[in-house]
Amino acid sequence: MRILSKTLAAMAVGVVALGLAAGSAFAFTADQQQALASISAKLANLKTMHGEFIQFGPTGEKSQGKFYIERPGRILFDYDPPSKLKVKSDGKSVLVRDASMKTDDLWPLSKTPLKFLLDDQLNLAKSSRVRGVQVESDLIQVVIVDDAQFGGGTLTLFFDPSTYELRQWTVRDAQGLDTTVALYNVETGRPLSPELFKINYSGVTNRARERSLGD
C-alpha cells in the first residue's frame, strides 16, 4: 500500500473526479459551467495521449519520466533513472513495479484512482466533488475534494484555457502535504503500441496476485 499510495495517488489522484457524474452540490457561474463542460468534452474525446512528466514531492524531491495513455483503461508511467519505477494498467489491473526493490504490487483497476482518469464517461460539470473553479486568461483551475481514495485530499487541476488540455495537478493529502505533477511535450491522437500496456501476469509474484484478489 505504501508504494501504491505514493505512486498512484501522486500520478493519478489529480484526475480522480474526471469520471464522476453525481449531481453538483455547488452553484457556478455561466463561465465556470462552460469551462467545466468544455473540459469534460475535451477529455471525453481524448483516446490516446503521451508525453513527459515532472513530479515534485512534498519535501522537494523531483522525479520525471514518460507517460502513455490509451482510453479506456490503459496507462503507463515510466520513471527515468535513477528511479526504476513503472506504473502500468492493461484495462483490468494496475501493476506498480519497483525494479530496484524487486517488488510488484498488483491491484484491480476498479480499486484505484486511475479508473477515473481512464473512464470514458467524463462529466466535471455534474460532479458533486468539484468545489471550486477559477477561470483566468492563462489557466483554468478546478478544485476537487475526494474523501474516498487513500484517506482523502484536495486536488487542484490546471487546464489550458484555449485548448482545455490538462497541464498540471497538485494533490494535497490528508496530512496537508502537496505533490505536483506537470505534463509537457504532450501529443494526442497517435496510435500507441499495445505492448506498452501488457502485464506479464506469470512474472508477477504470488504475493502481489493475492493482494490483487483481496478486499
33-78 tens-digit pLDDT: 999 999 988 888 888 999 999 999 888 889 999 999 998 888 899 9
What confidence score (pLDDT) does residue 207 get?
A: 62
Residues in the chain: 215
Confidence of residue 5 (pLDDT cuts 50, 70, 90): very low
Contact partners, residue 148, CB within 8 Å, separation at least 6: none
Mean pLDDT across the stretch 210-215?
56
Confidence of residue 141 (pLDDT cuts 50, 70, 90): very high
Mean pLDDT across the stretch 116-143?
80
Using alpha carbons, select from 66, 51, 16, 11 the residue that is nearest to residue 179.
Answer: 11
Please give the model's pTM, rounded to 2 decimal places: 0.75
Q: How does DSSP classify residue 10?
A: H
Give residue 82's identity as a one-letter amino acid code: P
E strand map for the chain: 48-56, 62-70, 74-79, 85-90, 93-98, 103-108, 130-135, 140-146, 153-159, 166-173, 178-188
Return phi, psi of residue 34, to 5°.
-65, -40
Confidence of residue 129 (pLDDT cuts 50, 70, 90): confident
Q: Measured between alpha carbons, how far is 144 from 154 in angstroms, rounded to an integer? A: 6
Confidence of residue 150 (pLDDT cuts 50, 70, 90): very low
Rounded alpha-carbon distances, angstroms, from residue 26 to 31, 33, 118, 132, 140? 14, 11, 25, 8, 17
